[in-house]
Amino acid sequence: MSATQDETRAEKARELRSYITGFVAAVVLTVIPFLSVATGWASFDTVVRVIGVCALVQVVVHFRFFLHIGWNRSTRDDLQLILFTTLIILLMAGGTIWVLTNLHHRMM
């Protein structure tokens, strides 16, 4: 086996480990807010804070492990990817809040 094949296999193994680590972290960061709501272990304000913190950490996990955006490099493509992701998240969250607010006012 040549050195390039060994390097390729090592790179694939690192990438697979990265995806598995990211998947496990994403599942844990999803289960924590779910269980905090389902069990009612804390007050409403605390649960909202737990959900917010887990959501922000999960965004970082997705950037790092699935989009492969690290802290040590800075390229134009990474910036565009982050800005586009932020735009999509704002559109989804803003649209959801808009629709639910509209439905709330119509049902009053």
Listed by start position, the domains of the chain span 1-68, 72-108
pLDDT at 29: 96
* Diameter of the chain measured on Cα atoms: 72
Return the pLDDT at 63. 84
Give the closest residue to 30 by CA, choosing from 49, 69, 57, 48: 57
pLDDT class of 96 with cuts at 50, 70, 90: very high
pTM value is: 0.69
27-84 pLDDT tens trace: 999 999 999 999 988 899 999 999 999 999 998 898 889 887 776 666 777 788 888 8
Terminal Cα distance for the chain, rounded? 72
Query: What is the model's pLDDT at position 53?
Result: 95
76-84: list long-range contacts, CB under 8 Å, 24+ apart.
none
